């Protein structure tokens, strides 16, 4: 048997305790019903946000540098419209109408939304919230069911970890006592 000083034995015991404590903490956090519920709620929120962005469009990039590029786009479009219109209008009034329509559409898309458009957007958002409410309730119920279902396995896992930790602590204690006795015996010899 290798000779270990009492200090080395203490360090090994401390290290083993720290590892066990870390393992128990990690396992407890992983199987905690509250944490599992939180992860499920976050996944549901992310899915709802993605669905909203697909329907309503993303908020990112709607201000800031967008105003400068909108101003440049308007200036470019306004500068080129007369020349293009003159060329196309010669002998083709339908093309002139389409160009005018396109220019109007471009300008209207670059301008801020009117109050009526904002009201319609709010109404659409409210309607989406009404439609999403049953889905949210179902998700909440599913999360609660998940939490209920996780309580017993989590309790069993914690009990098993606690038992393993107690067994390991007992083993370490026994080994420490034996090593201390060996050191004492060798010191006397």
- Condensed to tens digits (0 to 9), the pLDDT of residues 139-183 reads 888 888 887 888 888 888 888 888 888 888 888 888 888 888 888
Model pLDDT, residue 75: 59
Please answer whether residues 13 and 171 qualify as being in contact, where contact means their C-beta atoms are separated by less than 8 angstroms: no
More confident residue, 107 or 115: 115
pLDDT exceeds 60 at position 34:
yes
Model pLDDT, residue 61: 46
More confident residue, 4 or 81: 4
When divided into structural domains, the chain yields a total of 1
Q: Does residue 49 belong to any structural domain of this protein?
A: yes
Q: Does residue 1 belong to any structural domain of this protein?
A: no
Q: Kindly state the percentage of the chain with pLDDT values over 70.
A: 71
Model pLDDT, residue 124: 85
Please answer whether residues 28 and 158 qualify as being in contact, where contact means their C-beta atoms are separated by less than 8 angstroms: yes
pLDDT 10s digits, 61-94: 454 455 555 556 555 655 565 665 565 556 666 7
pLDDT-derived band at 129, boundaries 50, 70, 90: confident
pLDDT exceeds 80 at position 47:
no
- The chain-wide mean pLDDT, for the chain, equals 75
C-alpha to C-alpha distance for 68 and 25, rounded to whole angstroms: 52
- Mark out the alpha helices in 4-114 (DSSP H runs): 6-31, 33-56, 65-89, 93-110
Model pLDDT, residue 55: 63
Q: State both tokens at 33.
A: 């019903």
pLDDT exceeds 80 at position 12:
yes
CB atoms within 10 A of CB 103: 17
More confident residue, 47 or 125: 125
Model pLDDT, residue 78: 56
Mean per-residue pLDDT for 107-127?
Answer: 79
**Which domain, by its residues, includes 66?**
6-188
Angle, in degrees to the nearest 10, between helices 6-31 and 33-56:
50
Name the helix (H) or strand (E) containing 122.
helix 115-188
Q: Does residue 81 belong to any structural domain of this protein?
A: yes
Q: Does residue 179 belong to any structural domain of this protein?
A: yes
More confident residue, 154 or 55: 154
Backbone CA torsion sign across 11, 16, 17, 23: positive
Please answer whether residues 186 and 3 qualify as being in contact, where contact means their C-beta atoms are separated by less than 8 angstroms: yes
Q: Does residue 40 belong to any structural domain of this protein?
A: yes
């Amino acid at each position: 048997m290798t000779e270990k000083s009492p200090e080395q034995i203490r360090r090994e015991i401390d290290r083993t305790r720290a590892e066990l404590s870390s393992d128990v903490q990690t396992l407890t956090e992983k199987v905690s019903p509250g944490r599992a519920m939180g992860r499920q709620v976050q996944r549901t929120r992310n899915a709802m946000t993605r669905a909203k962005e697909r329907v309503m469009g993303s908020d990112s990039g709607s201000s800031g540098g967008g105003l400068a590029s909108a101003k440049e786009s308007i200036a470019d479009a306004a500068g080129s419209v007369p020349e293009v219109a003159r060329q196309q209008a010669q002998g083709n009034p339908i093309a002139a109408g389409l160009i005018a329509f396109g220019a109007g559409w471009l300008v209207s898309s670059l301008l801020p939304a009117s109050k009526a458009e904002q009201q319609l957007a709010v109404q659409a958002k409210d309607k989406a919230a009404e439609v999403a409410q049953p889905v949210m309730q179902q998700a909440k119920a599913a999360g609660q069911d998940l939490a209920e279902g996780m309580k017993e396995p989590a309790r069993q896992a914690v009990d098993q970890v606690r038992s393993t930790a107690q067994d390991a602590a007992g083993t370490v204690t026994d080994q420490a006592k034996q090593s201390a006795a060996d050191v004492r015996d060798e010191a006397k010899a």
